[in-house]
Amino acid sequence: MKRREFIGSALAAAAAAGLASCSLPGSEARKRTAAGAAGKMTLRFYPYELQLAHTFTVSSYSRTTTPDVQVEIDFDGYTGYGEASMPPYLGHSTESVRKFLSKVDLSRFESPFLLEDIMAYLDTLSDSDAPAKAAIDIALHDLCGKMLGAPLYRIWGYNPAKAGPTTFTIGIDTPEIVRQKTEECAGKYKILKVKVGLDSDEQMIRTIRSVTDLPLAVDANQGWKDRSKALDEIFWLQQQGVVLVEQPLPKERLDDTAWLTERGPLPIIADEAVQRLRDIPALKGAYSGINIKLMKCTGLLEARKMIAYARAEGMKVMVGCMTETSCACTAAAQLAPAADFCDIDGNLLITNDLFKGMTVRDGDMVLPDQPGLGLTKL
């Protein structure tokens, strides 16, 4: 394909994929595109174990590492970075991601701008494997942004000045550790997210309140079982300066969650109850909003559809993450200007990050102004 035809088809495909309001490629991109005919996309991946700064405990388990797979897609002299992170409770593993990625044949697509086609193809390979699909989606978006010479948020029309704050998460722990963690982060963030859902909830909140008056979000990770007790606790939490409650009850208990949402004073956000776009219709009326995570929803393409759907239903949008490097976190942060709440601190919870990308300044996320995700390899 001639260069002019290639650019034309790439831009047309970008328009179809929601990458429409892009600038023309920068001079560097033009030079590199002109340098060689468009070849085939090649996919590489390797396992990487994320080391957590602190043992992480939620209502159902504890861990000190998270399995992860790093993905790179090469095309026409550019490399797009992606990542699959697999917290154990979701049932994915390094092996399941490797197995899925080994089946993927990107050479059948002529360009990374064919995002809709490529993601539909990935869904034909399996009904599960969201983290592996997200890794490819993230790398493709990075690649498209680099080829267009613009950051993703700019291509989508989002204002980076509206990225806003991210919560910083404090896991369940002894009062001493919770106090220490809170002291470490109280001056750096504007809002904290507290893991609750065990008998220690009141102690957790009181310990944090002995250190800071910052607003709090709480995440029960399905840990509360009795809806009346949960409602009492939510009223108490509101008095303690809590502004939202994530996944209070087991995800199957939609009627009880609707009962809580109706009577409680705080927004109730679905996390475990929502994975992909297809899950949202059933949640209407039961939850005030949804927590979108790239590792659950297969990546940015579907995440943006979920935002649009949630908005159409009057639901709040939270963008979250798993424990991830700055690759996937910076991808999620591209969506921050379109969200009501962000919990994108996965890169801040590990000690062996591979990239510099989104950073946090005075509690607010700062998006890189480089093309694509805007990552720098460390």
* Interaction of residue 219 with Mg ion, rule CB under 5 A: yes
* Interaction of residue 345 with Mg ion, rule CB under 5 A: no
For Mg ion, the closer of residues 110 and 271 by Cβ is 271
Smallest distance from Mg ion to CB 185, Å: 18
- Stretches 84-92, 218-226, 298-306, 357-365: which one binds Mg ion (CB under 5 A)? 218-226
For Mg ion, the closer of residues 68 and 271 by Cβ is 271
* Interaction of residue 343 with Mg ion, rule CB under 5 A: no
Q: Which residue is nearest to Mg ion (CB)?
A: 271
- Stretches 8-16, 127-135, 169-177, 240-248: which one binds Mg ion (CB under 5 A)? 240-248
Exposure string (b/e) for 281-311, b if CB count within 10 Å is 16 or more?
eebeebbbbbbbbbbbbbbbbbbbebbebbe
d(CA 261, CA 263): 6
For Mg ion, the closer of residues 81 and 287 by Cβ is 287
Smallest distance from Mg ion to CB 363, Å: 20
For Mg ion, the closer of residues 171 and 372 by Cβ is 171
For Mg ion, the closer of residues 233 and 271 by Cβ is 271
Smallest distance from Mg ion to CB 141, Å: 24
- Stretches 100-108, 212-220, 292-300, 330-338: which one binds Mg ion (CB under 5 A)? 212-220
Smallest distance from Mg ion to CB 291, Å: 6
Smallest distance from Mg ion to CB 79, Å: 32
Smallest distance from Mg ion to CB 250, Å: 13
- Stretches 25-33, 130-138, 211-219, 305-313: which one binds Mg ion (CB under 5 A)? 211-219
For Mg ion, the closer of residues 277 and 322 by Cβ is 322
Smallest distance from Mg ion to CB 367, Å: 23
- At 90, give phi and psi (nearest 5°): -90, -5
For Mg ion, the closer of residues 10 and 322 by Cβ is 322
Exposure string (b/e) for 320-350, b if CB count within 10 Å is 16 or more?
bbbbbbbbbbbbbbbbbbbbbbbbbbbbbbb
Interaction with Mg ion in 244-303: which residues (CB under 5 A)? Answer: 246, 271
Smallest distance from Mg ion to CB 293, Å: 8
Can you give the binding site for Mg ion, defined by CB under 5 A?
Answer: 219, 246, 271
